[in-house]
Structure 1
Amino acid sequence: MELFSAEFFSALLAIIVIDLVLAGDNAIVIGLAARNLPKEQQRQVIIWGTAGAVAVRAVATVAVVWLLKIPGLLLVGGLLLIWIAYKLLTEEKCHDDMKSYDNRWEAIRTIIIADAVMGLDNVLAVAGAAHGNFLLVVLGLLISVPIMVWGSTIIIKWTERYPVIIYIGGGVIALTAAKMIVNEPFLNAFFVTNPALRYGLIIVVTAGVLIAGRQKSKHKKVASQ
């Protein structure tokens, strides 16, 4: 991938969208963990907790980018991303059981651990969208930092007011998953010689996830009424 090419910027745009729809949930964790601390300590906890979380995420993302170069794992990663995109469209998020702390170090530790666990989907999606380009990984992390620290309230309001944002994010993740599958080394030669099947699979996977997610959400709404 050439630096600052159309492909580079399209991958960067995909990473930004992924961060917007996936990192906002992690921002909520940061706010909840620090909410019972004194005001003067909350900023410190948010900064140090986010710094620790980003450091862990940076190592994890670089590791995933490297692992995705192993034959077969790009396919596995793509299949996992399809499931992540589907869950994004159908799962209702709940943070009612998230504890808050009045101890600064406990709050920081909680933020780092919670983000490491909850950020696995973000790590995999960003690594897949980066196509092995470490500069894109770094840019993705730099973008996710302000989102995690300042963006949670805005993201929640946007997604509640404009649910289509979630579907855009789910579509981007599904598209990333499909591209990972067709770029799998032992499948790539087949798809290169059969471009119609390549683009057909990308369209079917992306549309299939969106349609399945929409139908599942409708079914849940009907069942709850």
Structure 2
Amino acid sequence: MDFFTDFLTVQFWTALVTIVFIDLLLAGDNAIVIGLAARNLPKENQKKAVIWGTVGAVGIRVVATVIVVWLLKIPFLLAIGGVLLLWIAYKLLVQENEHGDIKAGGTLMAAIRTIVIADAAMGLDNVIAVAGAAHGNFTLVVLGLLISIPIVVWGSTLFIKVIEKYQWIIYIGSGVLAYTAAKMITHEKKFEEFFSDNPVLSWTLIAALTALVIVAGVWTNAIRSRKSAHVRKGGTI
């Protein structure tokens, strides 16, 4: 199909909305990295660091995502990417602070460099998720990122505050990632014919994997909460 034919399909818009949502959902890392890297700069340079650091980081991410989209066409890599994305969806629910080693840049260039390098190192989850949701469509990757960039740059901190206030958004986001991951597995070329011939089994697997990720996340968080309660009370675990 050409671009204009794709543009008119429900599948195109569903995938585009999914990609933008994934970008926003995983933008928390961007906001944290930007804040930590630019915190020691003068106010007039902080905005420059945010803009140019994000431009550099997104440029690298576009290239990486395009490469991953191509790699996912290799036999079994789509399924492997789906399994990895299931793990990412789970970690989203149970994530802990892993940004303590991000150093603040003393100069504008140092802050930009820190933002770009840290984002590249931490952006694998975003790359895999977007590549999986794009289903091999490079136009979707570029459009999704173009829509997401201004929102991520100027709205990621606000989005974090919304997530902190409404924790259920994280569970919806994790479910979207798990659903995308399960679809990647069922669309693996080696399995696609089997699942196409057995649609009930396909949707059962997708639903089961999505539910498994969310239940595992809820269960892990419940255990952590109980352990934290014991520690606060001075008890032993």
Q: Tell me what 2:232 maps to.
A: none
Residue deviations 1:68-127, cap 9 Å, x none? 111110000000000000000111234333221221111111000001011110011001
In the alignment, the residues of structure 1 paired with residue 224 and residue 117 of structure 2 have an alpha-carbon distance, to the nearest angstrom, of: 31
The Cα of 1:26 is off from its aligned counterpart by: 1.2
In the alignment, the residues of structure 1 paired with residue 32 and residue 89 of structure 2 have an alpha-carbon distance, to the nearest angstrom, of: 20
In the alignment, the residues of structure 1 paired with residue 129 and residue 191 of structure 2 have an alpha-carbon distance, to the nearest angstrom, of: 20
TM-score norm. by structure 1 comes to 0.96
Q: Tell me what 1:155 maps to.
A: 159
Amino acid at match of 2:120: A
Please tell me whether residue 95 in structure 1 is matched to residue 102 in structure 2: no
Contact 1:23 1:144 in 2 (8 A): no
The Cα of 1:18 is off from its aligned counterpart by: 0.8
Q: Tell me what 1:193 maps to.
A: 197
The Cα of 1:63 is off from its aligned counterpart by: 0.3
Q: Tell me what 1:137 maps to.
A: 141
Q: Tell me what 2:69 maps to.
A: 65
Deviates more, 1:88-97 or 1:104-113: 88-97
SS in 2 for 1:97: coil
Contact 2:24 2:152 in 1 (8 A): no
The Cα of 1:175 is off from its aligned counterpart by: 0.3
In the alignment, the residues of structure 2 paired with residue 151 and residue 119 of structure 1 have an alpha-carbon distance, to the nearest angstrom, of: 18
Amino acid at match of 2:17: L
In the alignment, the residues of structure 2 paired with residue 143 and residue 33 of structure 1 have an alpha-carbon distance, to the nearest angstrom, of: 24
Q: Tell me what 2:28 maps to.
A: 24
In the alignment, the residues of structure 2 paired with residue 118 and residue 4 of structure 1 have an alpha-carbon distance, to the nearest angstrom, of: 34
Could you tell me the percent identity over the aligned residues?
61
Amino acid at match of 1:7: Q
In the alignment, the residues of structure 1 paired with residue 151 and residue 98 of structure 2 have an alpha-carbon distance, to the nearest angstrom, of: 19
TM-score norm. by structure 2 comes to 0.91
Give the one of 56, 64, 74 matched to 1:52: 56
Amino acid at match of 2:71: L
In the alignment, the residues of structure 1 paired with residue 41 and residue 90 of structure 2 have an alpha-carbon distance, to the nearest angstrom, of: 36
Consecutive unaligned residues of structure 1, counting only runs of 5 or more, are: none
In the alignment, the residues of structure 1 paired with residue 101 and residue 12 of structure 2 have an alpha-carbon distance, to the nearest angstrom, of: 40
Contact 1:34 1:42 in 2 (8 A): yes
Q: Tell me what 2:130 maps to.
A: 126
Contact 1:61 1:123 in 2 (8 A): yes
Amino acid at match of 1:29: V
- Taking only aligned residues, the RMSD between alpha carbons, in angstroms, comes to 1.3
Amino acid at match of 2:171: Y
Amino acid at match of 1:200: T
Contact 1:125 1:176 in 2 (8 A): yes
Contact 2:20 2:145 in 1 (8 A): no
Q: Tell me what 1:106 maps to.
A: 110
Contact 1:16 1:143 in 2 (8 A): yes
Structure label with greater radius of gyration: 2
Contact 2:102 2:118 in 1 (8 A): no
Please tell me whether residue 42 in structure 1 is matched to residue 46 in structure 2: yes
User: How do 1:144-183 and structure 2 match up within 5 A?
Assistant: 144-183=148-187
In the alignment, the residues of structure 2 paired with residue 146 and residue 217 of structure 1 have an alpha-carbon distance, to the nearest angstrom, of: 33
Residue deviations 1:14-51, cap 9 Å, x none? 11221121022212211221111111211221111111
Contact 1:46 1:108 in 2 (8 A): yes
Contact 2:182 2:206 in 1 (8 A): yes
SS in 2 for 1:207: helix
